[in-house]
């Protein structure tokens, strides 16, 4: 009887019903849910768009800071190289003079050898490692003629000065090497920061990039609003100053006609600064559209401090190369009293600068990938403004 039993079918039963397909589907769903659960933390680890934007901005700012260090190292290296070149030229000239002095002493030695005269041993003197010790030991100078004494004095002087200059040149070359190492380090830092920023941006989707562009548009609109607000404030202050000056002039005239009272006249406005500022701004405007390139000072491209330096140079004013030196190259003025031509500095570490053109606007070289342009001084928010400096 048992041999006639049918074998139990494989598969699972649900409520007495055999459902192998449903079981497989269930297992697949469990696996997918498990994968989703495992993938969830990875999705949570992805930075938000705002975090990416902040990180990119921070990297660009760090690159600007490193650029300033690079600019300073480059300027220092150039000065040291020039100093070394001057020293090497000096050493070469002194070596030539030393050789001439040695030849003159050699002529005395040759004459002594030809005549067999019991004259001072000039040849031995020339071969001595330390001529001064030779003097002390042999009292050579006491037995020399006038011409010989002059020749020996000249030789000793030339030798001493040449040795000093050679030592100075050696030390300067070592310093130059250190500066060149610092220059390479600063350059590598800039490149590393920029590469990191580009890598972050490359990972954004087209949708994320579009959202970033929308955020930037909103920021520019807010910056323009703040610039208009500052322009109205400055216009109101200027109007008040003009009215006060007119009243003072009127009061001075009345006092003068009555023969009583005293007043002080308002000093005339400094037109020389405005003239220089006009030249600086004309130059800056002519650079609009040229690319930002870190470390560049023109004429085809600029970084931020390279642009301001070149602009004021066109007006006959020499500014230092870096932002943290330019910020000390003039008189600090309140933002409300900023005039065209003034330099506007940004961030606590003073890593960016633009040239004010009035009405809350400036011309600046923003960052890599951008071009020299006009922009609100509030482009990165009011809190980003560090100070305003009048350079001349």
Q: How far apart are CA 214 and CA 191, in angstroms?
A: 28
- Distance CA(358)–CA(150), nearest Å, equals 71
H/E run at residue 386: strand 385-390
In whole angstroms, give the CA distance from residue 59 to residue 196: 7
DSSP annotation of 242: H
The C-alpha atoms of residue 352 and residue 49 are separated, in whole angstroms, by: 25
Q: Which of helix, strand or coil describes residue 332?
A: strand
Tokens of 231: 């322009």
Residue 302: helix, strand or coil by DSSP?
A: strand
H or E stretch at 91: helix 49-115
Instruction: Choose among 46, 60, 38: nearest CA to 203.
Output: 46
**Among 222, 367, 250, 388, which Cα is nearest to 301's?**
367
Which of 345, 379, 372 shows the shortest CA–CA distance to 284?
372
* Residue positions annotated with a catalytic role: 304, 352, 364
**CA gap 100, 154 in Å, rounded:** 10
Q: Are 293 and 302 in contact (CB under 8 A)?
A: yes
């Amino acid at each position: 009887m048992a041999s006639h039993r049918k074998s139990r079918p494989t598969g699972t039963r649900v409520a007495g019903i055999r459902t192998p397909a449903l079981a497989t589907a269930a297992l697949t769903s469990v696996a997918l849910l498990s994968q989703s659960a495992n993938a969830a933390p990875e999705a949570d680890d992805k930075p938000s768009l705002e975090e990416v934007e902040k990180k990119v901005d921070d990297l660009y700012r760090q690159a600007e800071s490193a650029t300033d260090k690079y600019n300073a190292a480059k300027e220092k290296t150039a000065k040291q190289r020039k100093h070394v070149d001057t020293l090497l030229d000096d050493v070469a000239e002194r070596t030539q003079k030393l050789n001439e002095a040695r030849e003159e002493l050699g002529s005395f030695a040759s004459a002594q050898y030809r005549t067999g005269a019991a004259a001072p041993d000039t040849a031995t003197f020339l071969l001595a490692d330390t001529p001064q010790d030779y003097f002390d030991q042999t009292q050579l100078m006491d037995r020399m003629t006038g011409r010989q004494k002059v020749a020996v004095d000249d030789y000793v002087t030339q030798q001493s000065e040449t040795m000093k200059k050679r030592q100075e040149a050696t030390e300067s070359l070592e310093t130059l090497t250190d500066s060149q190492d610092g220059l390479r380090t600063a350059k590598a830092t800039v490149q590393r920061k920029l590469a990191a920023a580009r890598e972050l941006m490359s990972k954004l989707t087209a949708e994320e990039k579009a959202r970033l562009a929308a955020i930037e548009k909103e920021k520019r609109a807010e910056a323009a609003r703040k610039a208009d607000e500052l322009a109205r404030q400055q216009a109101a202050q200027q109007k008040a100053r003009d009215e006060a000056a007119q009243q003072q002039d009127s009061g001075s005239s009345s006092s003068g006609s009555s023969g009583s009272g005293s007043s002080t006249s308002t000093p005339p406005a400094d037109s020389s600064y405005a003239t220089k500022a006009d030249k600086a701004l004309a130059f800056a405007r002519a650079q609009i559209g040229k690319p930002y390139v870190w470390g560049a000072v023109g004429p085809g491209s600029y970084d931020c401090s390279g642009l301001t330096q070149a602009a004021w140079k066109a007006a006959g004013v020499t500014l230092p190369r870096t932002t943290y030196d330019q910020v000390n190259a003039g008189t600090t003025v309140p933002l409300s009293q900023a005039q065209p031509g003034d330099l506007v500095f940004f961030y606590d570490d003073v890593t960016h600068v633009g040239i004010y053109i009035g009405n809350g606007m400036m011309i600046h070289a923003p960052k890599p990938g951008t071009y020299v342009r006009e922009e609100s001084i509030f482009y990165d928010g009011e809190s980003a403004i560090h100070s305003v400096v009048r350079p001349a």
